[in-house]
Amino acid sequence: MRPDFRASLLAIAAAAALAGAAARAATDPSSATPQAPLVTVTKVAQTPFVATVEMTGSLVARHEVFVTPRIGGLAVTAVGAQVGDKVTKGETLVTLDHSALDAQVAQSDAGIAKANAAIAQAMTQVPSAEANDKSAAAALARAQALKATGNATQAALDSATAAAAAAHAAALSAEKAVTLARADLAGLEAQRRQLDVNLADTQVKSPVDGVVSRRTVEVGYVASTTGEPPFRVIEDGDVEFEGQVYQGDMIRLAQGQPAVVALPGGKTVKGRVRLLPGEVDKTTRLGAVRVALDPDPALKIGAFARATVETARVRGLGVPETAVLDDSGATRVEEVVDGRVKVRDVKTGLRFGGMVQILSGVADGATVIARAGPFLNDGDAVRAAPAEAAAGGSVQ
């Protein structure tokens, strides 16, 4: 083989080898220069923050009124309401048997009529007794005059004196008989009025407008003025939340602050703080807070509930909670500057809705890694991708 032909073959083989090596380098990642990791980033921006105080407790009646009979020992003949019914002031809830009272009323009326008759009869005796009194007094005066002139005996004077005294006593007795008869009538009339009160009390009525929260009576029960009342009524149907709050949070609470109360099942009801703790339990260091709630049929006294009270609302720099790294008591975020990580110590404030307020340490508009972690160090090179554009394989 000629020397020039052999040289050509060697040149072709060398070129083919170089091309194959280049192709393998292009397809083999292990042979390429490593790229910086891709991270999801977000901007530090002005964010609304709401400070809250949370507490657990129960639903209670704002004012619960006990409806109790004022007369006992009578059987229940009718019940006029069920639990959950709306009632009005003066509405009859329980009717008691008043047949025995009706008989007493009839007897009382008869006694009053008899007393009136006795008064009338006694009054008829007064005029004749007064006339006899005057006549006897006149006879005594004549007898005294005659005795003074010697024309009457001492016996005649004594007889006239006795007759005058007897007539005067009879007149006084007639007047007293009228007074006693009238006193008897007054006593009977007082008894009659008491019977009227007792009759009225056989209609047990609601003293307020409201909603029946409990009923413990049925027809046939015997009413009692002691023990469990037959009805309980929530005045005006007002149901509140009563919760326990730690003493350290009390200074943040004020009357009128808005609140949201979560009920079992996920339903929420709005309200406002109505009463603050008047005292703190010396053992638990907790105090009772009352939250007035908007009317809602789902509110049932005794139910468990959780309240969130809004104590403040501000705007400030914020980042997602995942962007904040708590490390050995220090709070940091990882800022991305010119493709490199800058670990910043920050001071945080409120936390709300998955966001953390940044009080200092990083500027408004700065770019930070959305999900901070210990795998990156200060000065590491990274490739930044906004949260909405982050693709699979990025460092989260």
pLDDT for residue 58: 97
Q: Would residue 251 count as lying in a domain?
A: yes
Does residue 380 belong to any structural domain of this protein?
Answer: yes
Computed over every residue of the chain, the mean pLDDT equals: 87
Which domain CATH number covers 72? 2.40.50.100
**Alpha-carbon distance values, 263 to 164, 190, 303, 307, 354 (Å):** 94, 55, 8, 9, 23
Average pLDDT over residues 158-178: 88
Residue among 361, 343, 339, 348 at smallest CA distance from 320: 348
Provide the domain limits for residue 169.
99-201
Q: Which position has the higher pLDDT, 22 or 181? A: 181
For residue 154, the model assigns a pLDDT of: 86
d(CA 246, CA 241): 16
CATH, residue 292: 2.40.30.170
Alpha-carbon Rg of the chain, whole angstroms? 51
Query: How do 355-360 and 304-320 pair as beta strands?
Result: antiparallel
Model pTM greater than 0.85? no
- Given a cut of 80, whether residue 1 has pLDDT beyond it is no
Cβ of 258: how many Cβ atoms within 10 Å?
A: 15
User: What pLDDT, on a 0 to 100 scale, did the predictor assign at position 2?
Assistant: 46
Hey, which residues does 168 pair with through a beta bridge?
A: none
Same domain, yes or no, for 70 and 113? no
Q: Tokens 């409120």 label which residue? A: 350
For residue 30, tell me if it sits in a domain.
no
For residues 40 and 387, is the Cβ–Cβ distance under 8 A?
yes
The answer to whether 158 touches 144, Cβ cutoff 8 Å, is no
Q: Which of 37-46, 139-148, 253-262 has the lowest mean pLDDT?
A: 139-148
Tally of CB atoms within 10 A around 207? 12
Map residue 92 onto helix, strand or coil.
strand
Domain end position, chosen among 259, 289, 313:
313
Q: Which amino acid is at 181?
A: A
Based on the fold, state whether residues 308 and 322 are members of the same structural domain. no
Find out whether 41 and 323 touch, Cβ atoms under 8 Å: no
Whether the CB-CB separation of 259 and 270 falls below 8 Å is answered with yes
pLDDT digits (tens, 9 = 90+) for 365-393: 999 999 988 888 999 999 988 876 443 43
Say whether both 209 and 297 belong to one domain.
no
Residues 299 and 175 in one domain: no
Note whether 88 and 207 are same-domain residues. yes
Asked whether residue 338 is assigned to any structural domain, the reply reads yes
The domain that contains 360 carries what CATH number?
2.40.420.20
Q: How far is CA 287 from the centre of its chain?
A: 15
Over residues 108-152, the pLDDT tens digits come to: 999 999 999 999 988 888 898 888 889 889 988 888 888 888 888
Indicate whether 363 pLDDT > 80: yes
pLDDT for 200: 94
Distance CA 142, CA 159 (A): 12
Total count of domains within the chain: 4
Domain assignment present for 16: no
Least confident of 25-29, 37-41, 54-58: 25-29
